[in-house]
Structure 1
């Protein structure tokens, strides 16, 4: 939509696509995300502040990645899956709330932000509040949707199945007015640990590549 709130375009997000180059191909620059919510039909819609293309170059589009340990797999043995998840960059007077990935993921030991997959019929904002509490035992106040990040790769999921996987991450800002000691309540899931990271120590943490890029964009 534009600054007046008028809808400029509407299009489905195909498997593997990113909203920025998709918008460009439709003649628009998606300048910033505004909201993500479900319509009366239950479908999830992302809203962006947008304007017509005016000489800008097409946003870069990364090619699909591939698990380096994966042997050649026939297409019929690969499952295609698109997963939309919601996360929060949560700040408090104790720092930045971070979660460590467990051995059920391909990035065991690395760190990211709390959040997770959106359940059927669930609003993204409700997902963030629920997931943050499950993964860290913290109660947060949610702010704006500030970024939409996508990844596309072929690899093995925690169950060992080969997937052509498209991750769509909705990233919100959040605050925690009464921070406590983080505790992982969802034991046995994809989160191994949670802690508050002082902002001055942020760059010493081993983040996943996607979260490192997102935090460089969203934090000083």
Structure 2
């Protein structure tokens, strides 16, 4: 994925490829910039994914943004894989939409945000709408790109392959004006259940670390 940092007038300040295992915040920080907010993610002229963000100079000589980066050991024989995925914090008058990970994943029983990998040639907003229907049977009004999250680990994939895995997650805001009882249509996949979780009780659920961090940031 290509990352383009924009200045206050929308002028490009930097353009770079996100290397395997590198957080976009860190990539900009190392260029003297802080990622202040995402703008949009889209396909470029050659079909590549491009992430545009607003960035400002930080003027610091030490430190860098927090976040989990490279594993201590990359893992002998692990296949390197970088996956760009799109998710949504989806709200309705029934609460926030969550999806439970199935036994095919390394976090069975934990909850996350609906979404998934961006297919070749697919625009990220299309990914969110498709995944929300597959994982929960919901139609939504998609809002802005509100966050970018990076995570990197070594583990066994659902297909039993040892992977040096870099997840790049594009997080959107979404509203569901006509919520229904969630139904998982993609049976046998990585989602075992979906539910509307009351906003006053979402902290009681067993979320993955990444999902909980996003909900704390955007729901408070």
Q: From the superposition, tell whether residues 62 and 215 of structure 1 become closer, same or farther in structure 2 (CA, over 3 Å).
A: same
- Kindly tell me: are residues 102 and 219 of structure 1, through their superposed partners in 2, closer, same or farther at Cα, counting changes over 3 Å? same
Task: Determine the C-alpha separation between the residues in 1 that align with 2:83 and 2:67.
Answer: 19
**Matching residue of 1:107:** 107
- Confirm or deny that 1:21 pairs with 2:26: yes
Three-state SS of the structure 2 residue aligned to 1:14 is: coil
What secondary structure, in the 3-state scheme, does the structure 2 residue paired with 1:11 have?
A: strand
Q: What is the CA-CA distance between 1:59 and the residue it aligns to? A: 1.3
Match of 1:208 in 2: 208
Alpha-carbon distance, 1:78 to partner: 1.5
Q: What does residue 116 of structure 2 align with?
A: 116
- Matched residue SS, 2:201: helix
Per the alignment, do residues 82 and 140 of structure 1 end up closer, same or farther by CA in structure 2, a change over 3 Å counting? same
TM-score, length basis structure 1 = 0.93
Q: TM-score, normalised by structure 2?
A: 0.93
By how many angstroms is 1:213 displaced?
Answer: 0.8
TM-align CA RMSD: 1.6
**8 Å CA contact retained: 1:139, 1:176:** yes
Matches of 1:64 and 1:42, distance apart in 2:
28
Shift of 1:55: 3.2
Q: Superposition pairs for residues 13-92 of structure 1, below 5 Å?
A: 13-55=18-60, 57-65=63-71, 74=76, 77-92=77-92
Shift in Å at residue 53 of structure 1?
1.9
Greater share of strand = 2
Shift of 1:65: 4.2
- Structure 1: gaps of 5 or more residues: none
2:16 match: 11
Are 1:194 and 2:189 counterparts?
no
